[in-house]
Amino acid sequence: MNSKPNASSSSFEPAVGAETSFPNPGRLIQLLSSIAVMPGGLESKRFRVASELCLDLKANVLISQTLNLAHPGNEPPNCPAIHMHSREKGWQQLPQSLLATEFSDLSRILQDLTNSLLSPNSKASSGPEGVKLFSPVPGLLFLADLTGNRLKYYAIARLNDRRAFSSAEMQFAHDFASMVPWLFRAPAHTFVDTEVEQLSPRLKSILILMLEGEDRQHIADDLGLSVHTVNSYFKDLFRHFKVNSHLQLIQKLHHLNRDSPLLRSDNRKS
C-alpha cells in the first residue's frame, strides 16, 4: 500500500479522531441515540456509524461495498463507495476511479480479501455468521459480514499514517460493529413496529425522550415525575421489548425518530 493521493487529493489531511483512550460504553449509547432521531434512511445511518468508527480509530478513508451473490453474473456488482475525511471539508465522497489510480494497491488488497471470503474453502465463509475482521497491512482494517447471499464490508484506512492498528483498536472495531448488526444487515422492523404500536401513551412519551438522548433525570423533569417512577417505566419498556439494557433498546429501535407515525399521539393507546 505505497500509493498516495496526487495533487488533486492533497487538500485532504489525516482525520482528527478520538484521544488515545477509547470511548467509554456511554459513547455508543450517545451515538445510537443521536442516530435514532436523525433524518434519512438506513444507508445514511449506516454511514454515520461507520464514519464515527473510522474517526474513533484516527483513520481518514472509509470504503464500503455490498455484493449480492444470489445471481452472480446476472447483475453488475455494486461499486465500492469511497469517502475521505479532512478537517476543513469533513467527509467527502470520492470518484470510484481513484481505486484504480491513487488507491490501486488498496484496491488490490480489498479484492484479494473479498475473493478469499467468497472462496468455497474459506474458513470465514463456512464459519458462523458475524463480523469478520482483518488487518492485512499496517493502517488498514477490513470488517466484513457474509450472510447468506450477501457480502457487505467496510475498509477503514489511515491513508497518510500507516501505523498498524493495535490489538485494542481492532477489538474495539470488532465490538463496535458487532453491537450494531444493522450496520451490515437490514433489520426486520415489522415485529418491533407492532410492539411500539402497543405501548401506552406514557411509555411512548418516555420512549420519545429516550430516543432524543435524554437521560432519566431529564425525562423525569420533563414529565413531572420522580426518577424512581421513570426507572419503573424503563423496566416496563425493557420487559415489553425483551431487552436488558438502555443500549439494547436503542439498538432495537434505531429506525425510529420522534416524527415516526408509530409515535404520533393519534396512534397511542391508552
CATH number, residue 218: 1.10.10.10
Q: With contact defined as beta carbons under 8 Å apart, do 222 and 210 qualify?
A: no
Mean local confidence (pLDDT), 40-48: 81
Which among 51, 57, 49 is positioned nearest to 18, based on CA atoms?
A: 57
Instruction: Please name the residue ranges forming H helices in the chain.
Output: 25-37, 42-56, 104-118, 123-126, 167-179, 190-197, 201-211, 216-223, 227-241, 246-252
Note down the domain range covering 90: 7-183
155 and 212 part of one domain: no
Domain annotation covers residue 90: yes
Q: Which of 135, 164, 183 is the last residue of a domain?
A: 183
Q: With contact defined as beta carbons under 8 Å apart, do 123 and 25 qualify?
A: no
Mean local confidence (pLDDT), 67-81: 66
Q: Is the pLDDT of residue 114 over 70?
A: yes
Mean pLDDT of the chain: 77
Q: What is the predicted pLDDT for the residue at 225? A: 93
Q: What is the predicted pLDDT for the residue at 184? A: 82
33 and 99 part of one domain: yes
The region of weakest confidence among 10-19, 93-102, 205-214, 245-254 is 10-19
Q: Is the pLDDT of residue 230 over 90?
A: yes
The region of weakest confidence among 67-71, 167-171, 241-245 is 67-71
Mean local confidence (pLDDT), 122-139: 77
Q: Is the pLDDT of residue 149 over 80?
A: no
Domain annotation covers residue 20: yes
Domain annotation covers residue 2: no
Which among 130, 13, 25, 6 is positioned nearest to 60, based on CA atoms?
A: 13
Domain annotation covers residue 77: yes
Beta carbons within 8 Å of 23's beta carbon, 6+ residues apart:
56
- Our CA dihedral for 28, 34, 36, 38, rounded to 10 degrees, sits at -140
Burial of 248 (0-12, 13-18, 19+ CB in 10 A): middle
Q: What is the predicted pLDDT for the residue at 167? A: 87
The torsion angles phi and psi of 85, rounded to 5 degrees, stand at -115, 140
Cell of 47: 454511514
Domain annotation covers residue 22: yes
What is the Cα–Cα distance from 133 to 127, expressed in whole angstroms? 13
Instruction: Give the H/E segment covering residue 157.
Output: strand 150-157
Q: What is the predicted pLDDT for the residue at 77? A: 56
Cell of 36: 435514532
What is the Cα–Cα distance from 165 to 149, expressed in whole angstroms? 30
Residue 265 banded pLDDT, cuts 50, 70, 90: low
Q: Which of 183, 206, 229 is the last residue of a domain?
A: 183
Q: With contact defined as beta carbons under 8 Å apart, do 237 and 200 qualify?
A: no
Mean local confidence (pLDDT), 62-77: 70
Kindly report the CATH number assigned to the domain that includes residue 21: 3.30.450
On whether the pTM is more than 0.85, the answer is no
Residue 126 banded pLDDT, cuts 50, 70, 90: low
Cell of 124: 470465514
Q: Is the pLDDT of residue 14 over 70?
A: no
221 and 244 part of one domain: yes
Angle value at C-alpha 90, between 209 and 55, nearest 5 degrees: 70
173 and 249 part of one domain: no
82 and 106 part of one domain: yes
Q: Hey, how many other C-beta atoms are within 10 angstroms of the C-beta on 12?
A: 19
Domain annotation covers residue 1: no
Largest Cα span, the chain: 63
CA distances from residue 163 to 37, 42, 135, 150, 169 in whole angstroms, order as listed: 35, 32, 11, 31, 12
Residues 182-203: tens digit of each pLDDT: 788 765 555 566 778 788 889 9
Mean local confidence (pLDDT), 11-22: 37
59 and 172 part of one domain: yes
238 and 158 part of one domain: no
Residue 219 banded pLDDT, cuts 50, 70, 90: very high
Question: Can you tell me which residue has the cell 482483518?
Answer: 134
107 and 200 part of one domain: no
Question: Can you tell me which residue has the cell 421489548?
Answer: 241
Q: Is the pLDDT of residue 62 over 90?
A: yes
Q: Which of 183, 213, 234 is the last residue of a domain?
A: 183
167 and 194 part of one domain: no
176 and 209 part of one domain: no
**Number of folded domains that form the chain:** 2
213 and 121 part of one domain: no
132 and 67 part of one domain: yes
Q: What is the predicted pLDDT for the residue at 146? A: 85
- Percentage of residues in the chain with pLDDT exceeding 70? 74
